[in-house]
Structure 1
Amino acid sequence: MDTATHLVMGITLGGLATLDPAIAQSNMGTQAVMLATIVGSNIPDVDTVLKLRNNAKYIRNHRGITHSIPAVLLWTLLVSWFSHLIFPSSPYGHLLLWSFIAVFLHVFVDIFNAYGTQALRPFTKKWVALGVINTFDAVIFSIHALGVVLIAIGANKGYTALFAYAVTILYYIGRIVMRQNVHSVVKKKFANVEQVIISPTYRFYHYHLAIVTDKFFYVARFHRGNILTHDKFERIPLPDNPVMHAALKDQNISAFLSFSPVYRWDLFEFDDHYEVRFIDLRYRSKDYYPFVAIVQLDKHLQVVSSYTGWIFSEEKLRKKLQLVPN
């Protein structure tokens, strides 16, 4: 989920907490829990600062350990401690509870989009991405933004927030049912399906699809019960050769592979260098696949340059990295 939605959901969660009698009985308790739910609803995304280092660190770690089970407990303790420090007369036990709900809710809603989280760490580093909700969902944001506005102009905090969350739950149920419908249609249309990666859009009846069968990758879209196939790629195993072995050791390539579940690859040989590319098939945009990893190696298999991240044209990629021209 995006930062703006986490923020408004944190505010409405603070409003919901006022239905707790221990919180509602004092102004300081209400202020403390509002601080806790806002901070708790956003603190797992502190790993966004990794983008200041490089894309490889960000891709490998964003929504990773900061969204894990131990992190949820740690954030809960830190948020509740900080809020109680600012508002010492607030009931700490109830503050602890609402801090936990805020942090847990952040991680929980994140698993419903296509990016997902490593929410089950330390038991597994598998990315949990259910593909139910778009990273930014205008409906969810609007529900809670309206709730924030109503609270700000004097509506009852608790019941306004309760209504907002009730509508949100119903919306999630509708989206889950829709996702199951998409999955069912895919299984009927394609043979020997091994995996279906569903990426929701802002439109309720429109989904991007990356379909893995025993022999092919399909990139498609679902719209109102119909599937349109954009591209079809043969599944070819990675070659067992020195060039690919060297490429896989590069931090940008390894970060990409740790995150991307479905991709195609290319290996090119030129007069003075090799180039290896990996292209994520989940994120097709206007006939282009913008999420890539690329490495260039000299003839001694030393890395000349590499990159992973979002790029929307060949020209920008080479200009940004000053890659060896082909």
Structure 2
Amino acid sequence: MDTGTHVVMGLALGGLATLDPVVANSTVTASSVMIATIVGSQAPDIDTVLKLRNNAVYIRNHRGVTHSIPAVLLWPLGIVAVIYPFFPEANLLHLWIWTFIAVFLHVFVDIFNAYGTQALRPFSSKWVALGVINTFDPFIFGIHILGLIAWAFGAHPGYTFLGIYAVLVAYYIVRFITQKAVLRAVKQLVPDATEIIIAPTMKFHQWRIAVMNKHQFFVGRSHNNKVTILDQFNRVAVPETPVIDAAKKDKNLSAFLSFSPVYRWEVDEYDDFYEVRFIDLRYRSNGHYPFVAVVQLDTDLNIKTSYTGWIFSEEKLRKKLDIIPN
């Protein structure tokens, strides 16, 4: 989920914790738990700072080790170790319990996004991405804001958020049912599909679709369970050529390939350089595919410059290639 949603979820957990008699009967414990749930709901995303280095490092590592099983166990210990000295009269066990719940819930809800997490590390490096909830979901964020407003006007925070989370459980179930309906519609349209990726959008009834069969890629949208194919591409295996082999050694392209399961490729030859481009097909927006990896090589196949990330115009891409060092 996005940072804002994780923040309001941390506040909501602090309110929900008031149903715990130990928390409710101790102002010190309640205060420490509120701080801990806010921090715990953010802690796994500390790897966002990797974006300051470059997109390649960020793509490879975001939601990786910081969302792993060991991290889920270690984050609460670290957070409690920092907070407890400021609240020595707080109940240590219940402070840890609610901190653990905050960290676990952060990782758990991220699994439902299309991006997913490597939540099964160290047992598996597979990305777990159920693709039923958008990274920012207006309903989930909005219902938390309503709960916080109700709390501010005197509603009991514990019962308020208990009711809200009951609604959200039902909401998640509905999202799964809707996704299954879209999946059935895609299978009817492309019966020989070998892989189907259905990704949510911010709009409840709209989904992004990327489909593969043995010979083609299909990119489309679903609106109210009606699937429309917007683009089709012949599926051409990436050849083993000197140019592409050299480009694959680039850190940006390597990161892209580790992240993207559905893409097409292009190689252009100019007077004094080659350009290799890989294009992720999952994120079509207004006829454009903004998530790409581009590598430029000289005629001796030395990498001159490269970039991976979100680009919404060719002009901006050219600027990135001019200023981003390899």
| TM-score, normalisation: structure 1 | 0.97
CA contact (8 A) 2:147 2:160 kept: yes
Q: Per-residue CA shift, 1:249-271, capped at 9, x if unaligned?
A: 10000011111111111111222
Deviation string, structure 1 residues 62-117 (Cα, Å, up to 9, x no partner)? 11111111111111111222232221111111111111111010011111111111
Q: CA deviation at 1:247?
A: 0.5
Shift of 1:191: 2.2
Gaps of 5+ in 2: none
1:74 aligns with: 74
Checking the alignment, whether the CA contact within 8 Å between 2:14 and 2:34 is kept in structure 1 is yes
Equivalent residue number for residue 241 of structure 2: 241
Aligned to 2:181: 181
TM-superposed deviation, 1:225: 2.3
Q: Which residue of 2 aligns with 1:251?
A: 251
* Aligned residue in 1 for 2:302: 302
Count of aligned pairs: 323
Q: Which residue type is aligned with residue 264 of structure 2?
A: R
Residue 55 of structure 2 is matched in structure 1 by 55
CA distance, structure 2, for counterparts of residue 152 and residue 225 of structure 1: 39
The separation in 1 between residues aligned to 2:154 and 2:87, in whole angstroms, is: 23
**Aligned twin of 1:117:** 117
What is residue 65 of structure 2 aligned with on the other side? 65
**What is the DSSP-based 3-state SS (H/G/I as helix, E as strand, rest coil) of the residue aligned with 1:292?**
strand
Q: What is the DSSP-based 3-state SS (H/G/I as helix, E as strand, rest coil) of the residue aligned with 1:154?
A: coil
The equivalent residue for 1:17 is 17
Q: Which amino acid aligns with 2:260?
A: S
User: Which secondary structure state, in structure 1, belongs to the residue aligned with residue 88 of structure 2?
Assistant: coil
Contact kept, 8 Å, 1:263 with 1:278, in 2: the verdict is yes
Cα RMSD (Å)? 1.1
Alignment of 1:193-232 (within 5 A): 193-232=193-232
C-alpha separation in 2, matches of 1:79 and 1:212: 44
For the residue of structure 2 that corresponds to 1:199, the secondary structure is strand
Q: Specify the code of the residue in structure 2 equivalent to 1:42.
A: Q
AA matched with 1:44: P
In structure 2, distance between residues paired with 1:169 and 1:56: 35
d(CA) in 1 for partners of 2:233, 2:176: 29
2:307/2:320 contact within 8 Å kept = no
Q: Distance in 2 between matches of 1:31 and 1:148?
A: 16
CA distance in 1: counterparts of 2:210 and 2:263, whole angstroms: 9
How far apart are the structure 1 equivalents of 2:234 and 2:124?
30
What corresponds to 1:131 in structure 2? 131
In structure 1, the partner of 2:105 is 105
TM-score (norm 2): 0.97
| One-letter code aligned to 1:241 | T
CA distance in 2, matches of 1:103, 1:28: 21
- Alignment-mate amino acid for residue 125 of structure 1: S
Provide the rounded CA distance (Å) in 2 between the counterparts of 1:87 and 1:181: 50
- Provide the C-alpha distance between the structure 2 equivalents of 1:228 and 1:94, rounded to a whole number of angstroms: 51
Which letter maps to 1:124? Answer: S
**Amino acid of the residue matched to residue 174 of structure 1?**
V
Contact 2:182 2:226 in 1 (8 A): no
Deviations 1:18-46 (A, max 9, x none): 11111111001111111111110111111
The percentage of counterpart residues that share the same residue type is 60
Asked whether the 8 Å contact 2:9–2:41 carries over to 1, the reply is yes
Distance (Å, rounded) in 1 between the aligned partners of 2:259 and 2:89: 45
| Bigger Cα displacement from structure 2, 167-176 vs 79-88 | 79-88
Shift of 1:246: 0.7
Unaligned 5+ runs, structure 1? none
Partner AA of 1:131 in structure 2: G
Which has the higher mean CA deviation after the structures are superposed, 2-11 or 75-84?
A: 75-84
**Which residue number corresponds to residue 83 of structure 1?**
83
C-alpha distance after superposition, 1:158-184 (max 9, x if no partner): 111111111111111111111111111
Residue pair 1:33, 1:83 contacting (<8 A) in 2 also: no
Q: Distance in 2 between matches of 1:221 and 1:121?
A: 32
2:293 is matched with: 293
Tell me which stretches of 4 or more aligned residues in structure 1 moved more than 6 Å: none
